[in-house]
Amino acid sequence: MSIFMWVVTVISLVAVILNIKKKIACFYLFAVANMAWAIIDYREGLIAQSVLFAIYFVLSIYGLYEWRKDKKKKEVGEI
């Protein structure tokens, strides 16, 4: 396992911890990690898994968008 793969693994684990703590930063880290895993898997010839991580990347961007949208709604609705 290369150093790059270890770094991506650590980023993924930190993202999970941030997700547990309900921190929006988890989506940024998941986006980076998922794109990195998609590239790694593609280079290794694991096309199906690469597509899966590409889908996870899109979902992490969507999650970030939804989280920010919900936060703005709450800020506007507060008195």
5 Cβ partners below 8 Å, 6+ apart?
40
Q: Whole-angstrom Cα distance, residue 68 to residue 31?
A: 15
Range of the domain at 31: 3-77
What's the pLDDT score for residue 74? Answer: 66
What's the pLDDT score for residue 21? Answer: 95
Averaged over successive runs of 10 residues, the pLDDT of the chain (79 residues) comes to 91 96 92 96 96 96 86 62
Quick one: how far is CA 17 from the chain centroid?
12
Contact 15, 33 (CB under 8 A): yes
Contact 40, 5 (CB under 8 A): yes
What's the pLDDT score for residue 73? Answer: 66
What's the pLDDT score for residue 70? Answer: 72
pTM: 0.78
What's the pLDDT score for residue 54? Answer: 97
What's the pLDDT score for residue 20? Answer: 95
Number of other residues whose CB lies within 10 A of the CB of residue 38:
20
Structural domains in the chain (count): 1
Q: Which two tokens stand for residue 70?
A: 């919900």
